[in-house]
Chain A
Amino acid sequence: MMAPAAQSAVPEAELAIRLQGVSKIYRLFASPGDRLREALSPFRKSYHREFWALRDVDLDVPRGKTIGIVGVNGSGKSTLLQIICSVLQPTQGTVDVRGRVAALLELGAGFNPDLTGRENVITNAMIMGLDERSIEARIEEVQAFADVGDFFDQPVKIYSSGMFMRVAFAAAVHVDPDILIVDEALAVGDAKFQEKCFRKFRSFQEAGKTILYVTHDRASVTAFCDEAILLHQGRVVDAGEPRRIVARFTEIMTTGSLQINPASDSTSALPSGDGLSQPLEALPHKEASESDPKNGRGAAEVSRFLAEKTADGEDRCILNPLYNKSEVRYGNKDACIVDFLIFSDERANSPLIDNGAIVEVYLKVQFNRMVEKPIVGLTVSTGKGVTVYADHTGWMDLALPPGLPGTQRAYRFRFPMAVAAGACFIDLGIASSEEVMADVRSRIVHFDVRRIRIMDGLINLDAAFEAFDVE
């Protein structure tokens, strides 16, 4: 059971990890020199802007529990793990970690390519704080687990990436940790090795070790974890039963924000300490605007977009940060696309959009001549030029009101970002009929789509899955 540190339900002696009021503020400096000046300044003068990667995190992890940590990219998961394994220092608050921590943040980060697998395993164990004798006692076991045969005594640089990962994983989990921290590391190796990793994982659980598990793989959270916590914008916004946490996480991923919906279950002690009950209510956008200047202004930018008429002959598209200079433009200019705006995840014109997020594409059209039956269209294509989706209002059976000369109209397309990951281009077009193009701006919009979990293919169909017993 997780509980806020302030009113801890966990007896002191059974704690593995306790964080109290932990915040991590990244100081954004104009130059590295400013950072040095501030660090050494005898007058504590400030030279930075602040970004809160974590804010007031209270967390008690009891010994022997497996805790899943979920949250969208940039929610602070990695920062939290780095603080727990003391790679990073918190800016505020206290961290109390009891026992040896083995972190699988980046497998084989400390490996030297010129040394053999064996030598690297020994060095790695020493960095973890083991002495030579206990390393010798363990090396056989590591070798057997890694299962790379004679390669174990060859330089790591000649390993295949699979072998490298196996040795690195074996080295990391065989230092007899009390606390294991896993950051999606299990997505490595072939199926056989993955299965082995999960078995090791299970044996850790059975041995009563504490495990922190960060992942985007929602299914493994419900399958594995005793409890889960949900991080959003640097705060622990919810904690408790994995199934419920995963549901709320899914909600954040699909809508881009967390609704005011603290559907708490009674079986789990929600974090309700001082800093925590409030954020649940206060979470949407206003809170975050301090840390991210763009956030929250998105909606305002949309209203401004819809309210403002562009000056005659002005092309505002080229001022948009997502504007692609190498667009291809053609048409008879009876009507012109003069401005566009991409709204997603509460942001306007964000260069990075999560897969699955709802995207709103606004375009503004200036009518130069009378267009009786305007048709507005868009095409979504990948960086490699594969058309993922092409559609227009004619095909949608929508009859738009005529465009009068000298007027401007704004239109909106709204759809979920199905493209799985990578560069994404959008074409915008306005036509007088299906044959007569007024203004087509091909590949005018460019942004990147961020993958939200591992999968393969062009499009994320986000398949639902079920298993049935067959008699």
Chain B
Amino acid sequence: MLVERPLIPSLWTKRELIWRLARSQVRDRYASTALGTTWALAQPAVMLFVYWFIFEYGLRMPSSGSAPFVLLLITGLVPWLCFSEMVANGSSAVISQGHLVKKIAFPLEILPAIPITAAAIIHAGLLGITFAIVSINGFWPTPRLLILVYAFICLVALAGALAYLTSALNAFQSDVGQITGLLLQLWFWMTPIVWSQEVLSAGAQAIIGWNPMTYVLSLYRAAFLPTLAMPSLVDSLRFWVVVLPVLMIGLQTYRRLKHHFADVL
């Protein structure tokens, strides 16, 4: 048997390849379009506009006192879109690359890392636009913006855990991909993206506090909008208590199942 290398260091040694494949994945998606990667921005823009219009003017959601609703919306929607893309594309990372798994000696451990990196590339673009919109609205950047680095690490830890877990299971049972899609939709509404946490009762807030994405979003928002409070240490502890075991289970499951991929695809 081959000696098993730990997964994360081996990702680091393969970073050139991951980067190359991720870039071509982004390019592929828009290769045949005239507007190219502009499309990557169009979908979030439309989504943002629809939610903003419905919630601000249709439902007249009470704006939180510290920042306008549209800014809360964009700073929440952008990391969420990145997260859901990482998980959704990640979950099909193995089955969509059957030819690599079966025909060549491909370093299987990097498969889910490719769509994750691809989503991160688009995310970087969207963050730039967020930055511009937030600045135009009078929220000038402060050193707090550096929190984004940590916020992104949290985002990738959670999304990566789920992508590795679901992509491995998906290879055996393709229902997993469908279930993942459904759960992501539910999750979207369980996370304070288009609605504000403050409308909830104290009890409901405590429950939503265990949703790791709540924590990630509050980091993003605090980074962009200095008038908002930073998440507490308890929040961050709660996040890692949930995410670390999921990450371990995800990577471990992947490691255990990857030898069977060529047999099942």
* A interface residues with partner B (beta carbon < 8 Å): 26-27, 32-33, 35-36, 39-40, 82, 85-90, 94-95, 101, 103, 105-106, 109-110, 112, 114-115, 119, 122-123, 126-128, 131-132
Other contacts beyond A36-B172, A39-B260: 10, CB < 8 A: A27-B263, A32-B172, A32-B264, A87-B104, A95-B1, A101-B105, A103-B105, A110-B99, A114-B28, A127-B17
Contact with A along B1-31 (1 / 0, CB 8 A): 1100000000000001100110010011001
A-B contact pairs, 10 of them (CB 8 A): A33-B172, A39-B256, A89-B2, A105-B104, A109-B100, A110-B104, A112-B28, A115-B24, A123-B21, A127-B104
Distance (Å) between the CB of A217 and the closest chain B CB? 22
Given contacts A39-B257, A123-B20, A114 and B31 within 8 Å (CB-CB): yes
**Nearest chain-A residue to B172 (Cβ)?**
A36
Chain B residues whose C-beta falls within 8 Å of the C-beta of A27 in the assembled complex? 263
**Are A109 and B104 neighbours in the complex by a CB distance under 8 Å?**
yes
CA distance A85 to B259 in the complex (A): 13
Identity of the chain A residue whose Cβ is nearest the Cβ of B176 in the assembled complex: A36
Pair A36/B24 contact, Cβ less than 8 Å: no
Cα–Cα distance between A27 and B262 once the two chains are bound (Å): 13
* Closest partner residue, chain B, to A29 (CB atom): B264
Give chain B nearest CB distance to A400 CB in angstroms: 53
* A-B interface pairs (CB < 8 A), number: 83
Query: In the complex, what distance in Å separates the CA atom of A119 from the CA atom of B20?
Result: 10
* SS of A interface (majority): mixed
Whose C-beta in chain B lies nearest to the C-beta of A127? B106
- Across-interface contacts of B256 in A (CB, < 8 A): 39-40
A87 — which chain B residues lie within 8 A by C-beta? 101-105, 262
A175 to B262, CA, bound (A): 24
From B16, B105, B257, name the one whose CB has the most chain A CB atoms within 10 angstroms.
B105
Q: Is B135 positioned at the interface, with any CB of A under 8 Å from its CB? A: no
Per CB-CB distance, the 4 closest pairs between chain A and chain B, nearest first, are A109-B103, A36-B172, A89-B259, A106-B103
Docked complex Cα distance between A128 and B27 (Å): 23
Compute how far the CA of A109 lies from the CA of B259 in the bound complex, rounded to whole angstroms.
19
Residue of A nearest to B110 (CB): A127
Closest to B100 in A: A110
User: Counting CB contacts under 8 A, is B36 at the interface?
Assistant: no
Q: Is the CB of B17 within 8 A of A126?
A: yes
A165 to chain B, nearest CB (A): 15
Interface of chain B residues 130 through 155 with chain A (CB within 8 A): none
Contact call B172/A86, Cβ cutoff below 8 A: no
- A452 CA to B56 CA, complexed, in Å: 71
Q: Across the interface, which residues of A come within 8 angstroms of B31, CB to CB?
A: 114
Closest partner residue, chain A, to B19 (CB atom): A126
A108 to B152, CA, bound (A): 36
A367 to B206, CA, bound (A): 88
Determine the chain B residues whose CB is within 8 A of the CB of A106 once the complex forms: 103-104
Question: Smallest CB-CB separation from B107: which chain A residue?
Answer: A127
Question: CB distance B172 to A110 under 8 Å?
Answer: no
The smallest beta-carbon distance between A28 and chain B, in angstroms, is 11
Cβ-neighbour of B262 out of A82, A119, A122 (below 8 A): A82
Contact mask B160-182 → A, CB, 8 Å, 1/0?
00000000010011100000000
